[in-house]
Structure 1
Amino acid sequence: MNLASIASGSSGNCIYVGNEKSHFLIDAGISRKRIVEGLSQMEVAPETIQGIFVTHEHMDHISGLGVFLRKYPVPVFATARTIDEILSTSSLGKVDKNLFESITPDQPIYMDGIKIEASRILHDAADPVCYTVSDTESKVGVATDFGTYDEYLVEKMQGCESLLVESNHDLNMLMVGPYPYPLKKRIMGNKGHLSNERAGQFLSKVIGEECKHIFLGHLSKENNYGELAYETVKVELLLHNIDLNKADFTLQVASRTAPTCVI
């Protein structure tokens, strides 16, 4: 499976997963123009997208959904409660309700031989999930917007060759930054976002021998920056004896505004 970020950050998220035959998006929280431009860089035509899998209803994950669907009417998959929230979001404009199909965590669906499975996460949304996508050759995972994790989530994300995992904020930057205290408390809470340290700790439990590529995603514009996220996660992985020098292993930060390479 291929994995690439078109955009990943607190201001907008859209992730590409696919292989030579099949192409999917996880979230559509940026403009249709940016989605199409990102896909073009990956040599993927937007007309070939076979489905959009939505993690939750926050605007940085769905803001471009309505405009994209009016041009490219593809199926949209999300939990039933997330679909209800999306369809009640007036800013998306008119969308065809018949495009939406509900999914259930831990009950995978199959499309063209590809297995897509949603897993439960803790976040302050109606019914948020993360996703793993696999074919006969490999498995990839995308997990952002969760404030804590447990063995269930660790197990679900294990076995991935490539991962995009949230590394949202530096705790010190958040604490001394301009956010009001209730917002800081929300971000640090169990239904908020993973700090750089916690992202490294989570990855240290998830990474196995088959894991070769890690993207750090959903970085906060105000409370983090790429070099800090990278170094903090790297230190945590080394503390947990993860071999970062093994052949073909990469650890990189997904940009908030520009597509990554396709892994």
Structure 2
Amino acid sequence: MSVLASGSTGNCIYVESESGSLLIDVGLTCKRTELALNKIERSLNDIDAILITHEHSDHIKGLKVIAKRYNIPIFANKKTWQAIESKNIHVNREQKFEFNALNYKEIIGLDVESFNVSHDAVDPQFYTLSQNDKKLSVITDTGYVSDEMKGIIKDSDVFVFESNHDVDMLRAGRYPWVTKQRILSDVGHVSNEDAAHAMKDVITDRTKRIYLSHLSQDNNIKELARMSVEQVLNHHDVDTVSHVELHDTDKDEPTRIYTL
């Protein structure tokens, strides 16, 4: 797997198995998605499926063009498909597949489970992907992490976990107060500290690495996010040196391919 891009401006994750490859979200333009894939020696021609989490532009920016140029099956839940179509993004019927929350599908040989999150989209959902006792969980764009979410993602080998903002930076920043309230709300985004407190509840002995993702361009920096998460995890006896590795993600540079 590789986090091709993550942040306020665009999100896209690459996952492959022995049977094929998929993308979770296409929040980059088609051209930027192809460039990102090329950096890890892959191509859009290799992609066998796309999983959509919700209809916000930083998760579907490239969908219209990619769907038109490539005959890739695309999965989203019913309400998200309706929201996508309301944005004048039309996908051929044969490429559209409905994948509602709290369901399982086998895609490229992976067992994919969908689950709800708390975010101000019409029906946002994220995914766990499992095969051969290996598990990857992706959870971003949520205002909080509920016990139900924790139960689904717990005991993963790898997490792509939102660490969106530093609360002090957000409160002191240039955003209008209504925007700050939205980000801090239960349907906004989790802060560095809140993310870390959720992480400590889902990390187990099998967990090897966590990718800190969806960092705010204006209200966070990589070093601060990593330091904040490390402090909380270390305080709760999670060793971030020899047990669980924390990894940065970037809006422009993909992470190196990692094999679970």
TM > 0.5 fold call: yes
User: How far, CA to CA, are the matches of 2:204 and 2:181 in structure 1?
Assistant: 33
Letter in 2 for 1:227: E
More deviation, 23-32/238-247: 238-247
Tell me the matched-pair count. 258
Alpha-carbon RMSD across the aligned residues, in angstroms, is 1.3
Aligned counterpart, 1:217: 213
Letter in 1 for 2:52: V
Aligned counterpart, 1:120: 116
Aligned counterpart, 1:50: 48
SS of the aligned residue for 2:7 comes to coil
User: How far, CA to CA, are the matches of 1:208 and 1:229 in structure 2?
Assistant: 21
Q: Deviations over 1:171-201 (max 9, x none)?
A: 0000010111111000000000000001111
SS of the aligned residue for 1:192 comes to coil
1:69 maps to which of 67, 70, 75: 67
Percent identity, please: 36
SS of the aligned residue for 1:106 comes to coil
Q: CA deviation at 1:41?
A: 2.2
- Contact kept? 1:87, 1:97, Cα under 8 Å: no
2:185 maps to which of 180, 183, 189: 189
- Contact kept? 2:14, 2:21, Cα under 8 Å: yes
Aligned counterpart, 1:84: 82
1:27 partnered with 2:25: yes
User: How far, CA to CA, are the matches of 2:91 and 2:80 in structure 1?
Assistant: 15
Q: CA deviation at 1:137?
A: 4.2
Structure 2: segments with no counterpart, 5+ residues: none
- Contact kept? 2:17, 2:110, Cα under 8 Å: no
SS of the aligned residue for 2:48 comes to strand
User: How far, CA to CA, are the matches of 2:169 and 2:240 in structure 1?
Assistant: 27
Letter in 1 for 2:15: V
Aligned counterpart, 2:248: 253
User: How far, CA to CA, are the matches of 1:112 and 1:15 in structure 2?
Assistant: 15
Structure 1: segments with no counterpart, 5+ residues: none
SS of the aligned residue for 2:174 comes to coil
User: How far, CA to CA, are the matches of 1:97 and 1:84 in structure 2?
Assistant: 13
Runs of 4+ more than 3 Å apart: none
TM-score by length of 1: 0.94
- Contact kept? 1:17, 1:133, Cα under 8 Å: no
